[in-house]
Structure 1
Amino acid sequence: MENWTSPLGTGPLLGIALGAIVVLLVAIIRFKIHPLLALTVVSALTAFAARIPADAVLDVLVDGFGETLGEVALLVGLGAMFGRLAEVSGAAGALSDALVSRFGDRRAPFALGVASLLFGFPIFFDAAFMVMLPIIFTVARRVGGGVLVHTLPAAAALSTMHVFLPPHPGAVASTVLLGGDVGLVVLIGVLVAVPTWYLGAYFYSVWIGRRIVLPVPELLTGGPQTDDDETGPPPRPRVVVGLLLLPLVLIFANTLAATLADTGAVDPEAPWVVLPQFLGATPVALLITVLVATWVLATRRGRRAAFVEDLLDNALKPIAPVVFITGAGGMFGAVLIASGIGDALAGTLGATGLPVIVSVFLVAAILRIALGTATVTITTAAGLLGASVVEAGLGPVQTVAVVLALAAGSSIFPHVNDASFWLLGRLLGMDVPTTFKTWSVIKTLISLVGFALSCVVFVLASLAG
């Protein structure tokens, strides 16, 4: 597959991709075929239709499925364990009570969103979402009104920070490839990301969440509820906050150590540089958090070992469909990438002749819709247009505006070829049409508002220059 090039042109490849998406939606929505089966069959048929060599089709399917599981399964599993511990110990309830008492019932979604903006700065979307989920679910049960009105603003906040700001991988890659300054991207990115969340995501999230009222899923409430050995009142809210901050601190230490090593400021082989990079890797940070939470919320409070084991085991059972369907979504996206659609589109879109900030946004947006993965979208678009952006002689702030426009484009309209579409939809108990009405629209609003604000930054920098 490394040296293989599709014999089909851009038109036929796009037609195949569009047809595959239509067949997939009809199979899932109209004929109620299980998404795992539908995604697997359509992925295989799409691979053959795109003329991927027959002896490579299975490798593409398995690699796409396995790579997605490698990124998602461990994070979701550890997050579910943490959530179950927080739920049964009363820790989630204690923190949710504190939030509601401080902000009130009606402003609970806003409070969760603001907390997610802060929490999402250094932590990747999937990991941060799974750690926040028990708090969000508990607030939703306390306040009422359904799960979406409380979860969507928080998820949108985490996603906005993940898209626009370093140290998240897409933002770092686009900054480097387009010749931007990381520090300036962080500074201006915050000024763009926060209003983007509030104007583009928060209002719609609350509006649609109050109109589509879904019950709080039982993902974190299965299994044992009581234990004769339990003693004492629920943990104090500050204990829960400390547990939430633990992975944040570890991941931030990882980022700092990696940055110092990459810039040559420190010896990259020094133990005090290598150790925080290992401990702060997202899966390891979550693992440490779960182990600490097991001690703080269970063992130290008198829970029996057999009870804790049963508790954690039951935490994993409800997430199996989520993990498998998310992996299948990644498999479908991998087939679209392997078919050469991204390269064909990139070559066609590269010569549009539009203003640089508009070209960057449109290229990223179209690639995201076609391919379904933000990281590949950003890398492809930035690699294609990076030279032209550098040659345009833009000022530092203008370059930052272009970087943010690229990030905005990579956020637009997630759908069935995007693993996060399935992850969020299944975790919140949404069917496919509801996921389109909620998450797809929210991400598109984030994209459009983020692009508009990036253009404002670009124009102001041009006038000042």
Structure 2
Amino acid sequence: MFGEVLRASGGAERLAFTLVDKFGEKRAQWALGLTGFIVAIPVFLDVALVILIPILYSLAIRTRKSLLYYGIPLLAGLAVAHSFIPPTPGPIAVASVLGVDLGWMMLFGVIAGIPAMIVAGPIFGRYIGNKIHVDVPEHIKEEEERKKANNEEGKLLPSFGMICFLILSPLVLILFNTTGGILLKEGIFKEVVTFIGHPFVALIIATLLSMYFLGKRRGVTKNEMQSMTTKALEPAGIVILITGAGGVFKEVLIESGVGDAMGELMASSGFPLVLLAFLISTFVRVAQGSATVAMITAAGLISPILDMTELSQPMLALIAISIACGATVLSHVNDSGFWLVNRLFAMTEKDTLKSWTVMETIIGLVGFFVVFGLSFFIS
């Protein structure tokens, strides 16, 4: 609901327009990477890309650069947040299966995600944009020409500060809960912080704030808001189904004894748990395609092993992010994201493999190396 209200109000466009304007055309890649990183926290990757791709078209037409020059940084930001940062479905589900505190997962997701976004986004985007020239489709060029005379659309968008406040508010509340649990003494204040910082409550607060500031105050009627929020629930069914199936899979592994057998087998391999989580997740990702399904399946497979050991919350969070890294690499033809990018950018399958697939693999590998390095300092 939060993401749909943000989309319908034009909040994502305002964020992108403002950041590109502030960074300047020469540093637009960095602005687009940051935009993707922020927008994909409340909005699904595919929806966010459809919302923001007109900005890529405009930049590519204006500068005559390859669409990939600007598209890869945006895609990198979207992919990192989609895989690494709660409250997107994959990280939330993995955290639930492994029993990871979302605050720790969010913290390490950002620490691993930012370097991954920088390398796979602006750096790789500049390289591949110069190697492969992807032109803007002709019908888009004609449409852009027709829109040039009309500058009123930007005036109707919500303010940049308001959008940042709404997107960051649930994340800040969740982080307050995590830090408060460590730093605050028992008492009413700690109970209040714990309550409002619970992911469910934090997201409800953010959703209600978005309904008020981006809905009621901007003249959206009750019927329009009801229609908007009802539509937002459509993709929730499949997410609940996948998450529930992941939980069932985990319990079947535990109760049947397969989990213990796998745990002993993998434990005897001598691989560190962070590396083991990455390898399992990568295997599932390549085999079936969906990053979210790969994350939940890998979490179910490694969960019985973790139950055999005593691990701290920070270490569990590192393992969860390692799973996310493995579920990101090697996106190919059995991944819906591959075809979404292929069609919106009007590329051949070969060019999509050279750009999108390589970008996803860079994100997963850079994120994993960061997490693997941190695992030596955290017990």
Confirm or deny a common fold (TM above 0.5): yes
* Residue number in structure 1 paired with 2:72: 152
* Residue number in structure 2 paired with 1:161: 81
* Residue number in structure 1 paired with 2:308: 391
- Aligned-pair distance for 1:458? 0.7
* Counterpart among 115, 131, 135 of residue 35 in structure 2: 115
Whether 2:318 is the aligned partner of 1:401: answer yes
Aligned length: 322
Whether 2:348 is the aligned partner of 1:431: answer yes
* Residue number in structure 2 paired with 1:99: 20
* Residue number in structure 1 paired with 2:166: 249
Alpha-carbon distance in 1 for matches of 2:53, 2:330: 23
Whether 2:374 is the aligned partner of 1:452: answer no
* Residue number in structure 1 paired with 2:291: 374
* Residue number in structure 2 paired with 1:193: 113
Rate the CA distance shift 1:250–1:403 in 2: closer, same or farther, 3 A: closer
Gaps of 5+ in 1: 1-74, 267-272, 296-329, 338-342
- Aligned-pair distance for 1:247? 11
Q: Deviations over 1:209-231 (max 9, x none)?
A: 1211111234586499379xx98
* Counterpart among 211, 215, 225 of residue 146 in structure 2: 225
Structure with higher Rg: it is 1
- SS of equivalent to 1:131: helix
Alpha-carbon distance in 2 for matches of 1:80, 1:219: 21
- Aligned-pair distance for 1:81? 12
- Aligned-pair distance for 1:166? 0.6
- List aligned pairs for 1:302-451, cutoff 5 A: 351-352=265-266, 353=269, 354-451=271-368
* Residue number in structure 1 paired with 2:181: none
Q: Deviations over 1:150-190 (max 9, x none)?
A: 01111111110111111111111111212221111112221
- Aligned-pair distance for 1:429? 0.8
Query: Comparing 379-388 with 428-437, which one deviates more in the overlay?
Result: 379-388
Whether 2:134 is the aligned partner of 1:208: answer no
Aligned-partner residue type, residue 182 of structure 1: L
- SS of equivalent to 1:113: helix
Aligned-partner residue type, residue 62 of structure 2: R
Aligned-partner residue type, residue 379 of structure 1: I
Cα pair 1:253 1:277 within 8 Å, conserved: no
Q: Deviations over 1:81-113 (max 9, x none)?
A: 979xx8xxxx99x938x835x434332212211
Rate the CA distance shift 1:251–1:200 in 2: closer, same or farther, 3 A: closer
- Aligned-pair distance for 1:123? 2.5
- Aligned-pair distance for 1:385? 1.0
Query: Comparing 452-461 with 104-113, which one deviates more in the overlay?
Result: 104-113
TM superposition score normalised by structure 1: 0.57
* Counterpart among 177, 191, 198 of residue 97 in structure 2: 177
Alpha-carbon distance in 1 for matches of 2:140, 2:173: 34
- Aligned-pair distance for 1:252? 6.6
TM superposition score normalised by structure 2: 0.68
Alpha-carbon distance in 2 for matches of 1:204, 1:150: 11
Aligned-partner residue type, residue 366 of structure 2: V
